[in-house]
Amino acid sequence: MSGLRIGAVIPAHDESATIGAVVEGLRAYPEVVAMVVVDDASTDGTAQAAAAAGAQVLRLEPGQGGGKGRALRAGLARVMDQDITHVLFLDGDGQHDPADLQGFLEHLVQEPECDFLLGSRYRDRARIPRARWNVNALGSWTLGRIAGVRWEDTQCGFRMLRREVLDRMELGADGFAIEMEMAMKAAHHRIRWVHIPVKAIYHAQWRSHFRGALDTWRIAWYSLFC
């Protein structure tokens, strides 16, 4: 798309083994003009690996709380200072394949006015561990009932939003609730959004920072007030 300029925000905590490949995968797309890796108090070489791959690195120190929400808001503040039209969010743990950005770009060619492209692993559910799938399904159903819309995969962190939409959202949630805050506010403002199929990647060494039912309950509670 002519004029499309994407800024990527990539949260990472102790992801030195995977962050370089994520950054390098995004570098294949000329539309991605800025990449900010938010090193959330890592104790390994995450920051060095991200910088070596060509990303800007924003370091958050331990002990301040806020989890993923704080990391995404910090990265968003940094990338919004740059000349971009859209913000792409994806995780640094290798669970998201940067090549799936192609599906987002192809949809924007067909529907350039779309405001919110939300990755969905729904069509790749056989690859998702059963316990994780059950939690995701319950969360998507519950929060969809609250918002009055139908979502396939509310916990997928692979998503892209138009800059002007993010300006209006005024995000403030901590932890994993920030991803649902985006979706709930999108529903509230009736912005144009679509599910884009993405791969479900769960390699042998992968471990989630998501705490199942506890985080789902907290997200649902927050969603009532966001």
Residues 6+ apart with CB under 8 A from 95: 157, 201, 202, 206
Q: What is the pLDDT of residues 49-106, one digit of tens each?
A: 999 999 999 999 887 666 899 999 999 999 999 999 999 999 999 989 999 999 999 9
All residue ranges of the chain with pLDDT < 70 are 1, 64-66, 123-149, 202-226
C-beta of residue 164 within 8 angstroms of C-beta of residue 127: no
Task: Please give the CATH number for the structural domain made up of 6-223.
Answer: 3.90.550.10
Report the pLDDT value the prediction gives residue 121, as an integer from 0 to 100.
79
Residues 6+ apart with CB under 8 A from 199: 97, 100, 121, 124, 127
Report the pLDDT value the prediction gives residue 107, as an integer from 0 to 100.
96
Spell out the long-range contacts of 50-58 with Cβ–Cβ below 8 A and sequence spacing 24 or more.
50/10, 50/12, 50/19, 50/20, 50/23, 50/92, 52/20, 53/19, 53/20, 53/21, 53/23, 53/24, 53/27, 54/23, 54/24, 54/27, 55/10, 55/19, 55/23
Alpha-carbon distances of 36 from 88, 178, 194, rounded to whole Å: 10, 18, 25
